Amino acid sequence: MLIGVPTESAAGERRVALVPETIARLTKTGVGVRVQRGAGDAAAFVVDAYETAGATIAPDAAAVFGEADLIVKVQRPTDAELELMHPGQTLLAFLSPLGDPASVERYAKKKITALSMDAIPRITRAQSMDALSSQANIGGYKAALLAAEYLPRFFPMLTTAAGTIAPAKVLILGAGVAGLQAIATARRLGAVVSGYDTRAIVKEQVQSLGASFLELDLGVDAAGAGGYAKALTAEQEARQQDLLAQHVATIDVVITTAAVPGRRAPLLLNEAAVVAMKPGSVIVDLAAETGGNCALTKPGEVTVAHGVTIVGTTNLPSTMPYHASQLYSRNVYALLQLLIKDGALNLDLNDEIVKGTTLTKDGEILHEPTLSALAGKGSGSAS
């Protein structure tokens, strides 16, 4: 079997799907790997390192897509890349099926077996494959650094000959993987940190990192299945926004991390909350790509509104491409260990992980959440 690794073509994407350390492990099992020349350059993985690891180098994307049995990417393929693929090939990437269900129909029509790294079930056995978590860790870390960069004051308390500087107050909204990493990083930078989540169960995790836990009386504990939070009612959302607007008036930095797969990010900070914040305060919105947790966030931009800097930078893991690629590559390898038997791809759809990850196979859409999303839009599965 031959695995192909093309250069990522999405704007601003600097990660690469497989790094040399992973390829060296794959080639020892008898699997061939073909990497497009320059695929790892932006992440500081050079051609020589790939060749040393046992990969062959392809001159262009066409040579990768045309020859490989399995294509491994970070981002979903562009229309031009999809044209290069042929029936019977397998595609593995962050395909975000619920964000674009129609793209899954195209994979089925092309008779491609499509596997999505963001559809891996969140179960104990799949932790080493959880690329969403590995990349969210990076996003949370970088969010705290961006907040420190844009805040016109120190994060830590400083005692100087000119007097004592009080530490910055940082509030993290959402205590998932990204939120907990943002809390830990802001604490390491010396800020006074608090965390908020609609799930009471995460209070202990927040406090274990040295932060206080902000409790708002919403009349509900929104803990849901798989570690995710349940959606609030419209009335609960409105109350949450009002209470947060009152609280952020005393905060220097707010980092928001709330996201719902396949849906617009929940609105946590309305314009009134931004108005209430002190001039010079900073909001870093990690949900910018899916609409933003702040009403005034502009995806992909850093803006100033009512004296508050709002950072809507998207794809933060790509801004740290070396380690982001390394971690993603390890996640991919862990999944491939399950999928590859005796040098060939073997999809056991009775396995919970394989079933949850497989979107399409043999011209059919198998992913139940995608089928439900398509049915809701009046579209059927492709065959």
Is the domain of 228 the same as that of 269? yes
Q: Is residue 128 part of a domain?
A: no
* E-only strand ranges, the chain: 2-5, 32-36, 56-58, 70-75, 90-94, 113-116, 158-160, 163-165, 169-173, 192-196, 212-214, 253-256, 282-285, 302-305, 308-311, 340-341, 344-345, 358-361, 364-365
Asked whether the predicted pLDDT for residue 226 surpasses 90, the reply is: no
Domain count, the chain: 2
Q: Of 32, 31, 36, which Cα lies nearest the Cα of 6?
A: 36
231-271: per-residue pLDDT in tens? 778 888 899 999 999 999 999 999 999 988 778 899 999 99
Q: Is residue 269 part of a domain?
A: yes
Whose tokens are 């390394």? That residue is 326
Is the domain of 31 the same as that of 143? no
**How high is the pLDDT of residue 378?**
47
Is the domain of 204 the same as that of 306? yes
pLDDT (mean) for 310-318: 97
% pLDDT > 90, the chain: 88
CATH number of the domain bearing residue 52: 3.40.50.720
178-220: per-residue pLDDT in tens? 999 999 999 999 999 999 998 889 999 999 999 999 998 877 6
Phi-psi region of 120 (alpha: psi -120 to 50; beta: other; left: phi over 0): beta
318-355: per-residue pLDDT in tens? 999 999 999 999 999 999 999 999 889 999 999 999 99
Is the domain of 166 the same as that of 304? yes
Distance CA 305, CA 297 (A): 9
Is the domain of 44 the same as that of 147? no
Average pLDDT for the chain = 93
Phi, psi angle pair for 228, to nearest 5°: -85, 160
Is the domain of 102 the same as that of 82? yes
Q: pTM score, two decimals?
A: 0.93
List residues with catalytic annotation.
122, 127, 130, 133, 228
Is the domain of 105 the same as that of 199? no
331 close to 129: Cβ distance less than 8 angstroms: yes
144-165: per-residue pLDDT in tens? 999 999 999 999 999 999 999 9
Which residue segment(s) compose the domain that 218 sits in? 138-319
Asked whether the predicted pLDDT for residue 60 surpasses 60, the reply is: yes
**How high is the pLDDT of residue 382?**
36
